[in-house]
């Protein structure tokens, strides 16, 4: 039964709950896509929302309301609950909706849990490759139940960088020039279209560093939790009047930040 996932026990731990919620949300979205979907633009032609986004978020939010009634909720598509526990779940039901609707595999369901001290937990489920990631404070990052090796430190020149800058802001000098300075130092550059998928790949050592500007918390917190729990660094910094989110191998992160601020 999808509605509030009543098969999940009330004593389920946070990490297992996050894994189950992201898996079930992704499965629901996949089923709905198979039945036929159309998208509506939010801020641009590439920023889309579908009925699957809303249904998956409702599923996660409803289950959290049942199992974690004192925790707060913030969802990309508008789900909201005030926290009485000091903890808040941050939901991205379908991250990479443009990819999802286009039939590309780089999309996921993502979830984070934060408290007053920062990120407690992050989980990402990418159904196209059958990968379930979880990690956070006092929980080393794992992939499909297998703990990952701690990330080795490498410089920017030796790693791939995943990033994105929307074409609509390329005319903004204070965004374009720092971004060009940062990517010019990387071994190679990739743009996949899903921040949480990118950051999971960073945690797994497949990509060395990730950087993007003006990232909402649902696109940042799940993956940042995975990266830091794998021994990486995740920072949000100001550069020329804009907020950039940068995560990855520590030296590469430091070099990206220096380039952005230069």
pLDDT tens per residue, range 20-68 = 999 999 999 999 888 887 656 656 545 556 888 999 999 999 999 999 9
In the chain, which residues fall in CATH 3.40.190.80? 156-261
Q: Which residues does the annotation place in the binding site for Mg(2+)?
A: 76, 92, 95, 219
Q: Which residues of the chain, if any, have pLDDT below 50?
A: 1, 45
Residue range(s) of every CATH 3.30.540.10 domain in the chain? 14-147
Residue 38, pLDDT score: 62
Burial of 163 (0-12, 13-18, 19+ CB in 10 A): buried
| Distance (Å) of CA 225 to CA 113, 121, 136, 237 | 9, 6, 5, 17
Query: For domain 156-261, which architecture applies?
Result: 3-Layer(aba) Sandwich (3.40)
Please state the residue numbers annotated as binding site: 76, 92, 95, 219
Structure confidence at residue 35 (pLDDT)? 85
- C-alpha 110/C-alpha 218 separation (Å) is 8
Measure the N-to-C terminal CA separation of the chain; round to a whole number of Å: 53
Q: Could you tell me what percent of the chain has a pLDDT over 90?
A: 88
Domain 14-147: CATH superfamily, name plus number: Fructose-1,6-Bisphosphatase, subunit A, domain 1 (3.30.540.10)
Closest CA to 37 of 86, 76, 94: 94
pLDDT for the residue numbered 45: 46
pLDDT at position 44 is 57
Rounded mean pLDDT of the chain? Answer: 94
Euclidean distance between CA atoms 214 and 202, whole angstroms: 19
Looking at residue 34, its pLDDT comes to 87
What pLDDT is attached to residue 50?
A: 84
In the prediction, which pLDDT does 1 show? 39
């Amino acid at each position: 039964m999808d509605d509030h996932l009543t098969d999940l026990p009330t004593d389920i731990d946070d990490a297992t709950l996050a894994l189950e919620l992201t898996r079930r949300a992704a499965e629901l979205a996949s089923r709905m896509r198979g039945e036929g979907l159309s998208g509506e633009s939010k801020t641009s032609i590439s920023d889309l929302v579908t009925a699957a986004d809303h249904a998956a978020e409702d599923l996660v939010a409803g289950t959290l309301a049942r199992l974690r009634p004192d925790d707060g909720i913030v969802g990309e598509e508008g789900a909201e609950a005030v926290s009485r526990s000091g903890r808040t779940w941050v939901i991205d039901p379908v991250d990479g909706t443009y990819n999802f609707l286009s039939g590309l595999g780089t999309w996921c369901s993502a979830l984070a849990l934060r408290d007053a001290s920062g990120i407690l937990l992050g989980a990402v489920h990418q159904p196209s490759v059958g990968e379930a990631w979880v990690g956070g404070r006092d929980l080393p990052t794992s992939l499909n139940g297998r703990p990952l090796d701690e990330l080795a430190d490498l410089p920017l020149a030796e790693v791939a960088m995943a990033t994105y800058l929307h074409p609509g802001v390329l005319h903004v000098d204070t965004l374009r020039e720092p971004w060009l300075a940062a990517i010019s130092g990387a071994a190679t550059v990739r743009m996949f279209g899903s921040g949480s998928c990118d950051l999971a790949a960073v945690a797994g050592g497949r990509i060395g560093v990730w950087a993007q500007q003006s990232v909402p918390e649902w696109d940042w917190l799940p993956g940042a939790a995975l990266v830091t729990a794998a021994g990486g660094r995740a920072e949000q910094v100001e550069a020329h009047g804009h907020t950039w989110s940068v995560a990855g191998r520590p030296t590469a992160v430091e070099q990206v930040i220096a380039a952005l601020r230069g």
